[in-house]
Amino acid sequence: MTTTELIDQIKIKKSFLCVGLDVDLNKIPPHLLALEDPIFEFNKAIIDATHDLAVAYKPNTAFFEAYGIKGWISLQKTINYINEKHPEIFTIADAKRGDIGNTSSMYAKAFFEDLNFDSVTVAPYMGKDSVEPFLAFENKHTILLALTSNEGAFDFQTLHVSGTRGEAEQSGAKELYKQVLETSKIWKNSENLMYVVGATKAEYFADIRKIVPDSFLLVPGVGAQGGSLQEVCKYGMNANVGLLINSSRAIIYASKGRDFAEKSREEALKMQQEMEEILYKTQKQIGI
């Protein structure tokens, strides 16, 4: 999917909601456990109930790998279902991969070719040659971890770094996550980059937008983890919206009963309506 198609979907649906499919068998409605593939059946029901309210789905690979081959089959069925039934949806493999060049190529093949996701999350620690193999795929998107939403983000990502390489050298000491943003901009096919930026510190978005004004940001941490949608939009939205706000648990685990899909729709609808309101106000102000 192209970025333009994603922006069009945001305008059509008046939503920039991403639903995280992090399926834990201990948390889904017990009546599903009797089915042959409870993970897929759960995902299918959530997707059927929310696909007109969300522009993206984000299965986290950990939750599938934990169930071995069965889990991998559930992942494949889930992505195939979205691609066949709802090809207008932007799909994200939340896999946080990254390895040396030829190995990253294999990961890119796994997620972009074999599974046919539109995008994959990638960790930046191993640098340029660990990310560029993902960027080489046309109309596929690489979502680089910048500032994550967890407590451990403050262990390394916010440390000040200096002694940088190449073009960034003149720019002086800055937090590691900002250096990741800066450095990644000069990588080959960097127009295929998006970034993960957690919602927990909304004011950080102002600085981030100075470095990557045009890029899409995938934002976890709104809701359950304490981030505010209003604040994130205030500092992080650009002329193309430029935000995908992820919600996982608040939507998919809204109920453990037989009404779980309806309840997930109610939660997704609340978020979509809040987003529509923000888009309406922003349109009046700055013309999005």
Q: Please, are residues 22 and 64 in contact by the beta-carbon 8 Å criterion?
A: no
Q: Is 270 a catalytic residue?
A: no
The whole-angstrom separation of Cα 1 and Cα 65 is 26
State which residue, 22 or 267, has the beta carbon closest to a copy of itself: 22
Supply the minimum distance, in Å, between the C-beta of residue 244 and a copy of itself: 17
CA dihedral sign of residues 59, 64, 70, 72: positive
What's the rounded Cα separation, in Å, for the pair 178 and 173?
Answer: 10
Place of tokens 């950080």: 204
SS3 260: helix
Is the Cβ of residue 180 or residue 243 nearer to a copy of itself in the bound state?
A: 180
d(CA 193, CA 207): 18
- 193 CA to centre of own chain: 12
Is the CB of 145 or the CB of 250 nearer to a copy of itself? Answer: 145
Toward a copy of itself, which CB reaches closer, 154 or 280?
154
Residue whose C-alpha is closest to residue 260's, from 45, 44, 50? 45
Which residues are near a copy of itself by CB under 8 A? 22, 24, 60, 62-63, 65-69, 71-73, 76, 94, 96-101, 103-104, 106-107, 109-110, 114-115, 123-131, 145, 148-165, 173, 176, 179-180, 183
Q: How far is the CB of 104 from a copy of itself (least distance, A)?
A: 7
Whichever of 200 and 272 has its CB closer to a copy of itself, that residue is 200
The span from the CA of 272 to the CA of 25, in Å, is 27
- Least distance (Å) from a copy of itself to the CB of residue 58? 12
SS3 57: strand
CA angle 127, 76, 52 (to 5 degrees): 95
Q: How far is the CB of 152 from a copy of itself (least distance, A)?
A: 2
The two tokens of residue 45 are 């029901």
Least CB distance to a copy of itself at residue 41 (A): 18
Name the one residue in this structure whose structure tokens are 């930046």. Answer: 124
Which is catalytic among the residues 14, 77, 96, 174?
Answer: 96
Q: Known catalytic residues?
A: 96
